[in-house]
A and B are shown apart, each in its own frame.
Chain A
């Protein structure tokens, strides 16, 4: 069972570089999410997608763009990386519309911007 797979696991970028974080789930979930985790801050929602073709901003969307490529894949793009975007990024997926179902998380992408 792969669950939620994130690539890459680690990345170092220079300020101003761009990159895309990839996320794929094989559980046929309709909703997908991107969170960032900073020390002492818990997880904060960047963007989410309730279904294929739809995306919405979360709590901290500035500096990011997302694409829900299909039902399985939800990517997060940093167009011009900044040191403030150094963080651990988690993708999650969930079935919504079905009672009492909760999100599964990937293992994270550890991003450092220098």
Chain B
């Protein structure tokens, strides 16, 4: 089946630093999504991308839909302690059954 390669697996940063993570796929997707999961909770949608090349921001978060449709990245600027959590990318090919394929996640730790 389709797979997403998400990197890095984990990050340990100081408060105030910027963060970058990315996802790549061997398949083309028509939608890229970025979710955050806090401990003990379900994933919550951060940013949705629907067009190749699209760059979208949500506060301190910025994500881009790669021009090849096979990759996406998420940047977090000026990290704060509440950014701690696991970040997942997900892709969807609307030519199929509209099922989401998830990356394995990036675990972010922010040291105050």
Contact = CB atoms under 8 A, between A and B. Distances in A.
Interface in A1-57: 4, 31, 35, 40-45, 48, 50, 56
A48 B43 contact: no
Contact of B104 (A41, A90, A105): A41
B104 A40 contact: yes
Contacts of B1: 59
B104 A107 contact: no
Interface size band for A: 20 to 34
Interface residues of B, number: 23
A62 interface: no
Contacts of A92: 42
Contacts of B45: 102-104
Contact of A43 (B40, B41, B43, B44): B43
A105 B41 CA distance: 9
Interface of A: 4, 31, 35, 40-45, 48, 50, 56, 58-59, 90, 92, 96, 99-100, 102-108
Interface of B: 1, 4, 6, 9, 33, 40-45, 48, 50, 88, 90, 97-100, 102-105
Given A31-B98, A50-B97, A90-B42, 20 more contacts: A42-B6, A42-B88, A42-B103, A42-B104, A43-B90, A43-B100, A43-B102, A44-B102, A48-B97, A48-B99, A56-B97, A59-B1, A100-B48, A102-B33, A102-B45, A102-B48, A104-B45, A105-B42, A107-B40, A108-B40
